[in-house]
Structure 1
Amino acid sequence: MRKSILLVVVVVLVALYASLFVVQEGQRGIVLRFGKVLRDGDNKPLVYAPGLHFKVPFFESVKTLDARIQTMDNQADRFVTKEKKDLIVDSYLKWRISDFSRYYLATGGGDVSQAEVLLKRKFSDRLRSEIGRLDVKDIVTDSRGRLTLDVRDALNKGTDDEDAAAAATTEADNAIASVAKRVEQETNGKVPAVNPNSMAALGIEVVDVRIKQINLPAEVSDAIFQRMRAEREAVARRHRSQGQEEAEKLRATADYEVTRTLAEAERQARITRGEGDAQAAKLFADAFSQDPDFYAFIRSLRAYDESFKSGNDVMVMSPNDDFFRYMKSPEKTIKP
């Protein structure tokens, strides 16, 4: 008896444990019974908020949906601006589920990959359309913030009839519209109407759109770098030629100053030497004028010294020449 009671208690505890489920914070729960989602009176899937909930054990299962903000990183792609110039734009966006019932139905059971495929295609088309309305200057300067804001609003609100008529319908628009129509059919038209061109048709809200990097294509970048290098080299050559011209001017000025200084110094030296020679000549003249005979004697001695420096000198002169008068005997040279 006691074993039977114990067995019943164990079965009850297991059933109670199997009937409880917890939805964590940052998640939402969808209950499936025999693989089919439980729906409310409007035929929309029942969404369970975070907390403790009950389900029929063994017959019902729980699928959780992430309610947190998701980040979708897009691969850098080529876009054409208003000026018909190519840009390589690297971007990402953040999104979250705004309507869990619609999201579950639109993505075939909450398939994140399917949601991101549609979101990425729609985002790429919208970003391409917005960039095509701007030139390069507006994209890389103050219009960059407005660009991402316009893309986010267009994704959330969709395009109105006028914009839809002006723009060609893309494959992503058709896919989202088809999903929105299927959701409306499954809920018997009891879900609120939304713009089939917006991400609200998938139960998604785009929180933020950001552009990480904008580059020029490799072939364009290479051409621009080559042109910039050529321009810088031309500027460098111009500066070098100007520097050489200034150097030549400075060297010419310096050479002129050197030549002028040397000429002035030479002139001043000649004047000084001339004045010195004149002063010396005056002194000699004053000195020798006091005794002319002595002066004549000194001059003769100097002439002898200059004439007979070498022993091989030969002079053909008359012995009675006046040049030798001081070489004769004193008695012959002294006059009475």
Structure 2
Amino acid sequence: MGGKGMTWILVGVLALFVVSNSLFIIKETERGVMLQFGQVVTPDLKPGLHVKIPFVNSVRKFEGRLLTVDSTPERFFTLEKKALIVDSFAKFRVADTLKFYTATNGEEERAMALLGQRINDGLRNQVAVRSIQEVVSGQRDQLMEELTEALTDVAFEEYGVEVLDIRVKKIDLPPDVSESVYRRMNAEREKEAREHRALGQELAEGIRAAADREVTVITANAYRDAELIRGEGDALATAIYAEAFNADQEFYSFTRSLRAYQDSFQNSGDLLLIQPDSNFFRYLKDPQGGK
């Protein structure tokens, strides 16, 4: 290969190098600025293919999608001077690339640190004018809405970012306070449990006494009714016996004697000591009963 061919190869390589360093792409999910010797010349590069001057211009790209800043849990004091540990996070995105680059040098971590400090300061101010109940449940949504609204303008002016939402993940009592609160709550629940048990025992005793009383009344009424029925039955039986006896006294005596014989001589080993001329044997001696 001659010297002329080598020259063309070198020219081609140099041209390829210049073109590769002159063209760059901004993706749809990115934001960017073009610098010229460290100074911003194009503050907001749109998505697409762009051209720069090699060794003169440089490009800084930023994330264009939503970013999350997870703040460090902080101790805040409520209106009653009660301490709370509040853990929060925020959603933001780069809105003004020039302000963002100027304030953070294009570093997302630095932007998150600055924004996290702002969020904690805002939370401290919001918690300080509310009670524990309002912070935890009563005005929690209102607190986050007011903080988001107040921080949006400040974050945009200072850092070039748009704060879309701030949320409180968790609110806890400090460890030194949690134990005492737990013990107090446990004591209150035990007291309430004892009161419920005492009330239940009192009700149970009342129900048991009423049941025992009802059993006694029912048993007494049943015994009374049984005695009345038994008395009526005995009276009816006596009347039947009297009527039968009056109808044929001799036959009645005969059947009673036969029943007495049957009951007396059921077993072969039974002995009966009685006078032979006793009235007990009169139907054995004479079927007519001695007539």
Output the TM-score relative to the length of structure 1.
0.66
Mapped to 2, the partners of 1:284 and 1:313 lie a distance apart of 29
1:322/1:216 CA distance change after superposition, 3 Å: same
Contact kept? 1:157, 1:200, Cα under 8 Å: yes
Mapped to 2, the partners of 1:13 and 1:25 lie a distance apart of 26
Structure with more contact order per residue of length (Cα contacts < 8 Å, sep ≥ 6): 1
Mapped to 1, the partners of 2:194 and 2:280 lie a distance apart of 86
Partner of 2:139: 143
Amino acid at match of 2:216: D
Amino acid at match of 1:27: E
- Give the alignment partner of residue 158 of structure 2, picking from 188, 201, 207: 201
Is 2:95 the counterpart of 1:134?
A: no
Is 2:62 the counterpart of 1:65?
A: yes
Question: After superposition, where does 1:305-324 map in structure 2 within 5 Å?
Answer: 311=271, 313=273
1:76/1:273 CA distance change after superposition, 3 Å: farther
1:141, CA displacement in angstroms? 4.1
Contact kept? 1:31, 1:37, Cα under 8 Å: no
1:254/1:146 CA distance change after superposition, 3 Å: same
1:268/1:6 CA distance change after superposition, 3 Å: same
Unaligned runs of 5+ in 1: 159-197
Mapped to 1, the partners of 2:90 and 2:203 lie a distance apart of 53
SS of the counterpart of 2:21?
Answer: helix
Deviation per CA, 1:195-233, whole angstroms, max 9, x where unpaired? xxx562122321111123444554234543553354245
1:269, CA displacement in angstroms? 1.0
1:127/1:226 CA distance change after superposition, 3 Å: same
- State the identity as a percent: 27
Mapped to 2, the partners of 1:73 and 1:85 lie a distance apart of 24
Is 2:49 the counterpart of 1:48?
A: no
Mapped to 2, the partners of 1:324 and 1:129 lie a distance apart of 119
Amino acid at match of 1:38: Q
Name the count of aligned residue pairs.
Answer: 276
Deviation per CA, 1:173-213, whole angstroms, max 9, x where unpaired? xxxxxxxxxxxxxxxxxxxxxxxxx5621223211111234
Partner of 1:276: 237
Mapped to 1, the partners of 2:83 and 2:6 lie a distance apart of 80
1:324/1:153 CA distance change after superposition, 3 Å: closer
1:48, CA displacement in angstroms? 2.8
SS of the counterpart of 1:265?
Answer: helix
Contact kept? 1:31, 1:62, Cα under 8 Å: yes
Mapped to 1, the partners of 2:156 and 2:183 lie a distance apart of 39
Is 2:149 the counterpart of 1:153?
A: yes
Mapped to 1, the partners of 2:280 and 2:115 lie a distance apart of 133
SS of the counterpart of 1:39?
Answer: strand
Unaligned runs of 5+ in 2: none
1:272/1:84 CA distance change after superposition, 3 Å: farther
- Give the alignment partner of residue 93 of structure 2, picking from 86, 93, 96: 96
Contact kept? 1:76, 1:90, Cα under 8 Å: yes
Contact kept? 2:73, 2:88, Cα under 8 Å: yes
Deviation per CA, 1:208-261, whole angstroms, max 9, x where unpaired? 111234445542345435533542453244235413421331243133213311
Contact kept? 1:106, 1:202, Cα under 8 Å: yes
Deviation per CA, 1:114-141, whole angstroms, max 9, x where unpaired? 2222211221121122122222443344
Mapped to 1, the partners of 2:281 and 2:148 lie a distance apart of 130
SS of the counterpart of 2:167?
Answer: strand
Contact kept? 1:102, 1:203, Cα under 8 Å: yes
- Give the alignment partner of residue 106 of structure 1, picking from 92, 103, 106: 103
Amino acid at match of 2:236: E
1:301/1:242 CA distance change after superposition, 3 Å: closer
Amino acid at match of 1:112: E
Partner of 1:115: 111
Contact kept? 1:74, 1:92, Cα under 8 Å: yes
